[in-house]
Structure 1
Amino acid sequence: MTWLQTHLAVLPVLLPLFTAVALLVIGDGGSGASHGSGALSRSRLVSVGSVAIGLAVALLLATGAAEGDLRVYRVGEWPAPFGIVLVIDRLSALMLVLVQLVALPVLVYAGGGWDSQGRHFHALFQFQLMGLAGAFITGDLFNLFVFFEVLLIASYALMVHGHGRVRFRYGVPYVVLNLAASALFLIGVALIYAFTGTLNLADLALRIGQVPAPDAAVVQAGGMLLLVVFGFKAALVPLHLWLPGTYAAASAPVAALFALMTKVGVYAIVRVHGVVFGDNAGASAQMVESWLLPLALATCVLGALGALAAPTIARLVAWLNVASVGTILAAVGLLSPQGWSAAMYYMAHSTLIVAALFLLAELVGAQRGQAGGRLEPAGPVAQPALLGMMMLLAAASVAGLPPLPGFLGKLMILNAAFGSAAGPWVWSVVLSIGFLTLIGLARAGSILFWSVRVEDTATRAGASPRLIGATLSLLGAVIVLAVFAGPLKRYTDAAGLQLADREAYARAVFGSGAPASPVRPFGSGDK
């Protein structure tokens, strides 16, 4: 194997890290730098080039993962479970591709002027990508916590980038709540480690089932704390209230990038509660079964109702993000490979479409004069045909109209739920929120494009080809999901089956080494 093939798995983490350091050295001309300043232009070029390379790396990893190989990278050549391991399977490879597909157009969009509103936008953006990539490929719980913190610290600064009273108003609670969630994360991890002696995910999947019943209660408590943490990150009811205001207050490119952060919570729930605490977890098996699905369905309903009552376009999109997370977790809550497959496909669709909608919301608001993104009558937009068609395409896919990927993803979820005890509930909620979403988006579209005051003049703000092109590229990626739905579904089906094969995952992580020793009770020592 060549050097590149050997170290390809670690590049999604190292590439944004080195790029961020380089960007800090280059500088960006300071706060308020002119749109075309030399330092800022160089930062844009380096940042966009790095993300383009990252997309190529992610596609290479996904191509290898599609063949069924699990690529394991042992940092420092320390054997598992004692060393740090990065694992690329079908699910993590899919998430890496999704990160780069969102990041590239969002970064191009930000180059239209948002990156000049404060210091070090591109360096912070790269640190965020580093945290996202690391969270998706790490092979142990503690490093999942570490990468969570990396992406969160970057998100704190990006949230208030460009300043403004509203951003600080929502940014401070966002930081405080995430710090509290991080503390709970450490407590949950400590409880699990105390009774298993490991945090390696492959090792945990083997050991959890060996924990005797008295100690299993403490392990389950740790697992439930992690569900609270991951549910907060994913905006699962009742931990969702922070998201609509926070995402609506952020700048459009930052909110679009944040669409990926809720998916980190979803991913962690799949890895930890779907796999580690899965069928073979003994007394702790499927411990979230009675919690996850009802909460996910409630998230769907509240997200759709929030979108109906939203006063601005940005808040409407933020509530749609909450509803989409609920839909994904409803599929995850079925706790079956078929449900996980449907969740993966729908997650790819919802991430791309929500990111596109955040950008589109700003484009429309910029052309409505003083009304901005408020859902009230205002002057006509300067590009009604183009922006109207973009909004119609996005709305149709979010609502689940055929033949768009929103429809296909929901059809996969309904099919996965068919015949299960919770099937009638899943069918009722998924179909109902599609109808409610359609009403909410129809209401918004009629106000934005039909309820116009003819005495107001249109403005060409936001009509830049750079901004339009970046948004169209995200919508184009959504169309690709529909065109290649067959191959993608075969990929996600295989990914769901791969997640259920814990023994194969453990063999890949441990390599030729022996699996971990049996669990010893907490506090026991060598005699």
Structure 2
Amino acid sequence: MPHLTILPVLVPLIGGALLMLPPLVGHPQRQRLTGIACSLILLAVSINLIQATSNGQMLLYAVGDWQPPFGILLVADRLSTMMILLTSLLGLGSLLYACAGTDEQGALFHPLFQFQLMGINGAFLTGDIFNLFVFFEVLLIASYALLMHGGGKPRTRAGLHYVVLNLAASAVFLTSLGILYGTLGTLNMADLAVKVQQLPESEAPLVAVGAMLMLFVFGLKAAILPLHFWLPQAYSAASAPVAALFAIMTKVGIYAILRVYTLIFGDDAGTLSHLIAPWLWPTALLTLSFAAIGLFTSPNLRRMVAWLVLMSVGSILAVVSFHRPEATGAALYYLLHTTLVTGGLFLLMDMISQQRYKASDRIVGARPVAQPALLGGLFFLGSIAVIGMPPLSGFVGKALLLKSAHHVNEMIWYWPALLGSSLLAIIALSRAGSSIFWRVSGAPSEKRTHPLEVMATLVLLASSPLMTIFGGTISEFTHATAVQLYDTHHYIEAVLSVEAAP
């Protein structure tokens, strides 16, 4: 099917537009059915895309038949289709949870949700840095409104900080694009890679400035220290399904770092090769260590999960900085695991807080929850998975991460940081679980969890045992994805030498 590559953008775009029309707007049940149908179609498209690219083939799509390096080009390879499938799974689980009633807390939730998916998928598919900026803006505009869905002072305050920081980042992004275009005359990623290889030494410092400005933008999206301070407040204030979907947002920044600084500023970039390596390694370690401290001192459950998201960012980017296919393959496996599990934990913590009334999600003793076996079992499953204890996928992922650090200097710094943060996570989650399920008094809560909320949470948390069962297949795929990512010559030749589908 020639138009398969653009469907991850078109499906949520058309779905979001339909959800704003009179037959659907103002009718929650119709909006829910339409939103779920769009998410299921998107999931089916994602599965077809990953099957089409699993043999190493790259699918190119030239919007308007403007061939590269001109016009809007979409590129589907193993990495981009893997990220789209991950987004589709996370989006489906988040939307199912919202359909239990959270979507009624504010207007236009479902159209905004679809537009958010459109922006995320577009960012993963684009082969042009300017269009990466465009899709960033699409997903950010939707996320501004979704973050404040349901209203309230904490969400308004977090939303204000989030908007201001991202508007500043957008201005910096445009500045960096202007520098690169003015110097190299193109913004197509493959064409940029060729132009950087031919760059005169006299112009290299200016291009390096543009590249470092982009690192600032991508670092803010990924929430690398010291650009992380917006994340704990924003994620802990957002409604549960929005926070769960936001678990993919930091991974958009990680994807951009992987794609841009491997393809354009990789091994063949001359004096600009591995430009960010001296910065990425220490900041990733600091992010991991600082996030572990933040997790340990968190006063409530939602903020704990937000710090867990930040810990995953540091764990992944430290390994990415090794710039080796086997290391990046391990990082991609862990990225899949941690995105789905932390998304499920955001939903679980909301279910727990609903049954604790005034205590909400604060880590204090309170009345017993109405469903201690169900919520306690899910809390145990999610905690074991996210900590990295056997036999779930977190253990497999962290074992792969530790194995990828095989140089002495890498082991000396990375092993203590990763294992130490895991120890702090064990202590913090054990303390939280004992406070919630054992330090109880009074009559049990009468509020029970909606079956749709339980199903949505299970969809995401069940990914961990499934990733363990199929761990060999998934790790082989992530390794092959990393190998294709570092084969920049193949990417450049495929984009610039082959006519893309119009």
Please tell me the TM-score bracket, short chain as reference.
Answer: over 0.9
User: 1:270 corresponds to which residue?
Assistant: 258
TM-score, L = length of structure 1: 0.93
Shift of 1:476: 1.2
User: 2:337 touches 2:464 (CA, 8 Å); kept in 1?
Assistant: yes
**Cα deviation per residue 1:173-212 (whole Å; 9 max; x = unaligned)?**
1101100001011111111112111111111122212212
Candidates 128, 131, 137, aligned match of 1:140: 128
Shift of 1:29: 5.3
User: 1:525 corresponds to which residue?
Assistant: none
User: 2:195 corresponds to which residue?
Assistant: 207
1:25 partner letter: L
Candidates 333, 346, 364, aligned match of 2:352: 364
Shift of 1:275: 2.5
User: 1:503 corresponds to which residue?
Assistant: 489
Instruction: Tell me how far apart the structure 2 counterparts of residues 10 and 208 of structure 1 sit (CA, whole Å).
Output: 29
Candidates 297, 308, 329, aligned match of 2:317: 329
User: 1:9 touches 1:72 (CA, 8 Å); kept in 2?
Assistant: yes
SS where residue 100 of structure 2 aligns?
coil
**Cα deviation per residue 1:236-280 (whole Å; 9 max; x = unaligned)?**
000001100111111000000111111100000001123311111
**1:8 equivalent in alignment to 2:4:** yes
**1:430 equivalent in alignment to 2:424:** no
Shift of 1:28: 5.6
Candidates 211, 224, 231, aligned match of 1:236: 224
User: 2:479 corresponds to which residue?
Assistant: 493
User: 2:18 touches 2:24 (CA, 8 Å); kept in 1?
Assistant: no
Shift of 1:420: 5.7
Instruction: Tell me how far apart the structure 2 counterparts of residues 313 and 88 of structure 1 sit (CA, whole Å).
Output: 37
Candidates 425, 444, 447, aligned match of 1:457: 444
Instruction: Tell me how far apart the structure 1 counterparts of residues 446 and 292 of structure 2 sit (CA, whole Å).
Output: 31
**Cα deviation per residue 1:27-58 (whole Å; 9 max; x = unaligned)?**
6655xxxxxxxx11111111100110100000
**Cα deviation per residue 1:476-509 (whole Å; 9 max; x = unaligned)?**
1222111111011111111111011111111211
SS where residue 421 of structure 1 aligns?
helix
SS where residue 25 of structure 1 aligns?
coil
SS where residue 77 of structure 1 aligns?
coil
Judge which range, 106-115 or 206-215, deviates more. 206-215
Instruction: Tell me how far apart the structure 1 counterparts of residues 433 and 263 of structure 2 sit (CA, whole Å).
Output: 42
C-alpha distance 361-281 of structure 1, shift in aligned 2 (>3 A) = same
SS where residue 86 of structure 1 aligns?
strand
Shift of 1:417: 1.2
SS where residue 64 of structure 2 aligns?
helix
Shift of 1:397: 1.3
SS where residue 237 of structure 1 aligns?
coil
Shift of 1:456: 4.0
User: 2:470 corresponds to which residue?
Assistant: 484
2:447 partner letter: R
User: 2:206 corresponds to which residue?
Assistant: 218
User: 2:312 touches 2:338 (CA, 8 Å); kept in 1?
Assistant: yes
SS where residue 24 of structure 1 aligns?
coil
Give the alignment of 1:122-201 within 5 angstroms.
122-201=110-189
Instruction: Tell me how far apart the structure 2 counterparts of residues 244 and 21 of structure 1 sit (CA, whole Å).
Output: 32
The percentage of counterpart residues that share the same residue type is: 48
- Any unmatched runs of 5+ in structure 2? none
Instruction: Tell me how far apart the structure 2 counterparts of residues 390 and 132 of structure 1 sit (CA, whole Å).
Output: 28
User: 1:232 touches 1:239 (CA, 8 Å); kept in 2?
Assistant: yes
Instruction: Tell me how far apart the structure 1 counterparts of residues 354 and 146 of structure 2 sit (CA, whole Å).
Output: 21
User: 1:300 touches 1:323 (CA, 8 Å); kept in 2?
Assistant: yes
**1:19 equivalent in alignment to 2:53:** no
User: 1:252 touches 1:358 (CA, 8 Å); kept in 2?
Assistant: yes
2:20 partner letter: L
**1:227 equivalent in alignment to 2:223:** no
User: 1:51 touches 1:100 (CA, 8 Å); kept in 2?
Assistant: yes
Instruction: Tell me how far apart the structure 2 counterparts of residues 228 and 149 of structure 1 sit (CA, whole Å).
Output: 16
SS where residue 285 of structure 2 aligns?
helix
1:298 partner letter: L
User: 1:368 touches 1:459 (CA, 8 Å); kept in 2?
Assistant: no
User: 2:25 touches 2:31 (CA, 8 Å); kept in 1?
Assistant: no
User: 1:73 touches 1:86 (CA, 8 Å); kept in 2?
Assistant: yes
**Cα deviation per residue 1:446-471 (whole Å; 9 max; x = unaligned)?**
11111112x2432324x111111110
User: 1:160 touches 1:171 (CA, 8 Å); kept in 2?
Assistant: yes
Shift of 1:511: 3.3
User: 1:195 touches 1:211 (CA, 8 Å); kept in 2?
Assistant: no
Shift of 1:167: 0.7
TM-score, L = length of structure 2: 0.98
1:97 partner letter: L
What is the aligned residue count? 500
C-alpha distance 277-18 of structure 1, shift in aligned 2 (>3 A) = same
User: 2:376 corresponds to which residue?
Assistant: 388
**Cα deviation per residue 1:387-420 (whole Å; 9 max; x = unaligned)?**
1111111111111111211111111111111126
Shift of 1:69: 0.3
Give the alignment of 1:340-379 within 5 angstroms.
340-379=328-367
**1:414 equivalent in alignment to 2:402:** yes
1:470 partner letter: A
**1:286 equivalent in alignment to 2:274:** yes
Instruction: Tell me how far apart the structure 2 counterparts of residues 29 and 182 of structure 1 sit (CA, whole Å).
Output: 32
- Any unmatched runs of 5+ in structure 1? 31-38, 515-527
SS where residue 430 of structure 1 aligns?
helix
User: 2:179 touches 2:210 (CA, 8 Å); kept in 1?
Assistant: yes
2:63 partner letter: V
Give the alignment of 1:101-112 within 5 angstroms.
101-112=89-100
Give the alignment of 1:284-323 within 5 angstroms.
284-323=272-311
Instruction: Tell me how far apart the structure 1 counterparts of residues 47 and 408 of structure 2 sit (CA, whole Å).
Output: 35
Instruction: Tell me how far apart the structure 1 counterparts of residues 476 and 53 of structure 2 sit (CA, whole Å).
Output: 13
User: 1:523 corresponds to which residue?
Assistant: none
C-alpha distance 420-128 of structure 1, shift in aligned 2 (>3 A) = farther
Give the alignment of 1:434-453 within 5 angstroms.
434-453=422-441
1:24 partner letter: M
User: 1:519 corresponds to which residue?
Assistant: none
Shift of 1:323: 0.6
User: 2:309 touches 2:342 (CA, 8 Å); kept in 1?
Assistant: yes
User: 2:353 touches 2:359 (CA, 8 Å); kept in 1?
Assistant: yes
Give the alignment of 1:29-48 within 5 angstroms.
30=26, 39-48=27-36
